[in-house]
Amino acid sequence: WRVHAPLIAEINALKRERNAVILAHNYMTPEIFHGVGDFVGDSLGLAREAAACDAAVIVQAGVLFMAETSKVLAPDKTVLIPDLRAGCSLASSITAADVRLIRQRHPTLPIVAYVNTTAEVKAEVDICCTSANAVQVVEHAAREWGVDTVILLPDEHLSRNVAAQTRVRILAWKGACEVHQRFDAQDVRDMRAAYPDAEILAHPECPADVLAEADFAGSTAAMADHVARKGVGQVVLLTECSMADNLMASAPGVQFLKPCNLCPHMKRITLEGIRDCLVTGRHEVTVDPGVAERARLAVQRMIDLPT
Ligand code: 13P
Ligand code: SF4
């Protein structure tokens, strides 16, 4: 930690100078998460903060779709991302043209997009969801449209996992998170055999057979809350590796067991990159105003749902 201290101090001073806040996702490394993050959390929490905060500059310590969501919700703020290559396999699995074709084929069905999509895709859909509220959003959409079937894209695993929790019929797309789809049910069985007392938590982007054998499934924030409430014992987090690293500080009584997978996109964000982006103003994330306007409707509909 001591090696990071000078850079952390430099970034915190730059933030004050530039009237900037850093929104840090739960998958950031601990020196970012604990050292410089002003708001930390899951996709939903960070989107809410982007809309609510009154800083002039938002530095997104996360991936590009999160920065776009911040820009869509806070069009008058400057949104910076330290590395433009911080993508997401889900966001790149579907285009706006794909969604327009889906709409042509199913003109009467509501289209729900996971926030892990580009702003252009969000602009084509009716409402967004995150892993924290996907079931609620799908049921809301079915009610509002008066239908029994909802299109939920682009994550086929999230869609299947949502379908298991609702009577609404879900039509899915074939996207996947390259990090979470690598877990399989055998991982769960191996961990159970090795650590019979451990509680196994999984992100809903994992395949359905993983969730079927896990003890708890939820967004990164839901997993963090669950671990904090638990306070003691052994935990397996079937998700990105930094999650456990970050929770160790707040739950010292919990022993975190592997396995975990690294997200190469999240790991492109570094302290050096954050410092450089505050110094140079690069890379600014922009969204075409027409696209942003339509995407905002879809994101805002989600945010306006009762919690
Ligand atoms: P959360 O919304 O649960 O933080 O998930 C974001 C993400 O990218 C998970 O892979
Ligand atoms: Fe995308 Fe998966 Fe990385 Fe999250 S963990 S940013 S869903 S690739």
**Structural domain ending residue among the three candidates 142, 177, 212:** 177
pLDDT digits (tens, 9 = 90+) for 23-35: 999 999 999 999 9
63 and 25 inside one domain:
yes
pLDDT for res 250: 86
Assess if residue 296 is contained within a domain: no
Which atom of ligand 1 approaches the CA of 42 most closely? 4
103 and 173 inside one domain:
yes
Assess if residue 164 is contained within a domain: yes
pLDDT digits (tens, 9 = 90+) for 195-218: 999 999 999 999 999 999 999 999
Does the pLDDT value for residue 157 go beyond 90? yes
Instruction: Classify 281 in phi/psi space as left (phi over 0), alpha (psi -120 to 50) or beta.
Output: left
Whether residue 305 contacts residue 144, with contact meaning beta carbons closer than 8 Å, is answered with: no
224 and 198 inside one domain:
yes
Q: Is 263 in the pocket of ligand 2 (CB under 6 A)?
A: yes
Assess if residue 301 is contained within a domain: no
Whether residue 216 contacts residue 202, with contact meaning beta carbons closer than 8 Å, is answered with: yes
**Structural domain ending residue among the three candidates 177, 204, 232:** 177
221 and 271 inside one domain:
no
pLDDT digits (tens, 9 = 90+) for 88-140: 999 999 999 999 999 999 999 999 999 999 999 999 999 999 999 999 999 99
Mean of the per-residue pLDDT values of the chain: 97
Helices within 219-262 (DSSP H only): 220-230, 241-250
**Residue 128 known to bind ligand:** no
The contacts found for 286-292 with CB under 8 angstroms, 24 or more apart, are 286/71, 287/68, 287/71, 287/72, 287/75, 287/119, 288/119, 289/75, 290/123, 291/119, 291/120, 291/123, 292/71, 292/72, 292/75, 292/119, 292/123
Closest Cα to atom 8, ligand 1: which residue? 116
Taking each helix axis from N to C end, the angle separating 220-230 and 241-250, rounded to the nearest 10 degrees, works out to 40
DSSP code of 176?
Answer: -
170 and 190 inside one domain:
no
Taking each helix axis from N to C end, the angle separating 5-18 and 271-280, rounded to the nearest 10 degrees, works out to 30
139 and 203 inside one domain:
no
Q: How many CA atoms lie within 13 A of 223 on its CB side?
A: 31
Assess if residue 305 is contained within a domain: no
197 and 141 inside one domain:
no
pTM recorded for the entire structure: 0.96
10 and 81 inside one domain:
yes
**Residue 131 known to bind ligand:** yes
Assess if residue 128 is contained within a domain: yes
- Say if residue 306 is preceded by a cis peptide, omega within 30 of 0: no
How far is it, in rounded angstroms, from Cα 63 to Cα 182?
20
Q: Is 21 in the pocket of ligand 2 (CB under 6 A)?
A: no
Amino acid occupying residue 257: L
Q: Which domain holds residue 126?
A: 91-177
Query: In sequence order, what are the residues at sequence separation of 6 or more whose Cβ sits closer than 8 angstroms to the Cβ of residue 294?
Result: 122, 123, 124
Closest Cα to atom 8, ligand 2: which residue? 88
Pocket probe mutation, ligand 2, options 180, 238, 267, max atoms within 8 Å of Cβ: 180
| Main-chain phi, psi angles of 217, to 5 degrees | -130, 140
Does the pLDDT value for residue 144 go beyond 80? yes
pLDDT for res 298: 98
Assess if residue 110 is contained within a domain: yes
Percent of the chain with pLDDT over 70: 100
pLDDT for res 307: 76
pLDDT for res 275: 98
CATH at residue 23: 3.40.50.10800
pLDDT digits (tens, 9 = 90+) for 247-284: 998 899 999 998 899 999 999 999 999 999 999 999 99
Q: Kindly report the three-state secondary structure assignment for every residue of 63-126.
A: CHHHHHHHHHHCCCCEEECCCCCCCCCCHHHCCHHHHHHHHHHCCCCCEEEECCCCHHHHCCCC
Mean pLDDT computed over 216-227: 97
32 and 61 inside one domain:
yes
Does the pLDDT value for residue 230 go beyond 90? yes
Ligand located closest to 266 CA: 2
Q: Is 219 in the pocket of ligand 1 (CB under 6 A)?
A: yes
The alpha carbon of 33 and the centre of ligand 2 are apart by a number of angstroms equal to 17
| Main-chain phi, psi angles of 23, to 5 degrees | -95, 115
ipTM above 0.90, yes or no: yes
What's the domain count of the chain?
3
Using pLDDT thresholds of 50, 70 and 90, give the confidence band for residue 65.
very high
58 and 27 inside one domain:
yes
Query: In sequence order, what are the residues at sequence separation of 6 or more whose Cβ sits closer than 8 angstroms to the Cβ of residue 266?
Result: 25, 27, 28, 62, 63, 86, 240, 242
Assess if residue 114 is contained within a domain: yes
Query: In sequence order, what are the residues at sequence separation of 6 or more whose Cβ sits closer than 8 angstroms to the Cβ of residue 108?
Result: 145, 147
